[in-house]
Amino acid sequence: MSISVSLLPIGAGEGIIVPGRNVSANQSIISASGTFALGFFSVGNSTPRYYLGIWYNKIQKKSVVWVANRESPTDSLGTFALGVDGNLVVLDATGKIVWSSNVKIAHSAINSMMGVLMDSGNFLLRSGETILWQSFDHPSDTFLPGMKVGNNRKTGQRRQLTSWIDAEDPQPGLFSFGLDTTGPLQFFIWKDHVPYSRTNVYSNSMSLTKLSRWLPFAYYITVKLEGDDIYLSYSISDISAILRITLVPNGRLEALIWEEKNSKWFSMWQWPKVYCDFYGHCSPFSSCDKKGSPVYCKCLTGFQPKVQQEWHMRNWTSDTCVRQKGTNM
């Protein structure tokens, strides 16, 4: 992966942008404790494309967790600033706006607007204590502790992950992860908007504590209904640990922990992983048994494969289960 960034901070590492103070080439802003940095990075060698992103500041391997102008990269380094309307904007070399936070801001509040990079990796646009926009509401491919993935039933807002095209192209890829609103409370991975994998059904308010077998801390997963907001979030007991969940370009969610002594990311969990994790890999009137290797799909009681030979060849999606003769509905 070819990524180049600039790590020169603006003004003693202050993680803020105010009117008249911009981020451009060879500059970045850093969160208060130095955990995250925001600036421009490039991908590709022959014809580099430039993006505004957020990455971990304290580790050598540049791992980008959020990208602003995913769908509109620039051919040369641009500028990140507060626009004349108070919104956060990315400008190309000609001054054209290629990305904006695009929220409505009262004229009287424009001069009080401020952009702040938090130690959580969240970037806020705020006026005083009022938050008008935040990057956590517009995820890229990475799910950070404290983020929410889900939907607001009143506003229609959807917070979901979208994979990169590949390891060197942060433009939106084929896969997305989010909450399905058409049936029971489930989270899906979609491939090109078609179900690819799904979780179990959750209740409207559920909290789970997961203890890692490899790590000296616990992580907490919450599925919660707050008014019209239904979301999935997680946290960890050791705030010094660097943990992220990423929807990688091949459609798999991976929980990655940074190993300082080895200077690399360690994959502690992946999903989907086994055959039964994938959506629709068994035909109607059958079930998938994770312990059934090599025969994962089995017809339900009272049903049998329509073509036994196809079933033995493991063509479980093309062959169907039909009701056995002599059984009642």
Domain boundaries, the chain: 1-138, 139-273, 275-329
Of the listed ranges 128-132, 143-147, 315-319, the least confidently predicted one is 315-319
User: Which residue pairs from 15-20 have beta carbons closer than 8 angstroms and sit at least 24 positions apart in sequence?
Assistant: 15/116, 15/117, 15/118, 16/114, 16/115, 16/116, 16/117, 17/80, 17/81, 17/82, 17/88, 17/114, 17/115, 17/116, 18/82, 18/113, 18/114, 18/115, 19/82, 19/110, 19/111, 19/113
Distance CA 5, CA 50 (A): 10
* Residues 11-18, mean pLDDT to the nearest whole number: 69
pLDDT of residue 182: 79
* CATH superfamily assigned to domain 1-138: Bulb-type lectin domain (2.90.10.10)
pLDDT of residue 97: 96
Peptide linkage before 145 cis (omega within 30 of 0): no
CB 180 within 8 A of CB 186: yes
Task: Give the chain's mean pLDDT.
Answer: 85
Pairing status of strand 169-180 against strand 264-271: unpaired
pTM of the full structure: 0.86
Distance CA 213, CA 72 (A): 42
* Residues 191-220, mean pLDDT to the nearest whole number: 71
Distance CA 8, CA 2 (A): 19
CATH fold match for the domains 1-138 and 139-273 = yes
Q: How confident is the model at residue 6 (pLDDT cuts 50, 70, 90)?
A: very low
Q: Is the pLDDT of residue 36 over 90?
A: yes
* Residues 286-291, mean pLDDT to the nearest whole number: 81
Instruction: Express each pLDDT in 111-133 by its tens digit.
Output: 999 999 999 999 999 998 999 99
Q: How confident is the model at residue 34 (pLDDT cuts 50, 70, 90)?
A: very high
Take residue 112 and report the two structure tokens written for it. Answer: 């009080």
Q: Is the pLDDT of residue 326 over 70?
A: no
Distance CA 150, CA 227 (A): 13
Query: In whole angstroms, how far apart are CA 213 and each of 218, 253, 269?
Result: 9, 19, 11
pLDDT of residue 7: 30
Q: Is the pLDDT of residue 214 over 60?
A: no
pLDDT of residue 327: 57
Which residue is associated with the tokens 């599925």?
A: 223
Q: pLDDT higher for 273 or 53?
A: 53
User: Is it true that domain 139-273 has CATH number 2.90.10?
Assistant: yes
Q: How confident is the model at residue 2 (pLDDT cuts 50, 70, 90)?
A: very low
Instruction: Express each pLDDT in 55-90 by its tens digit.
Output: 999 998 889 999 999 999 998 889 999 999 999 999
pLDDT of residue 82: 95
Give the CA diameter of the chain.
Answer: 81
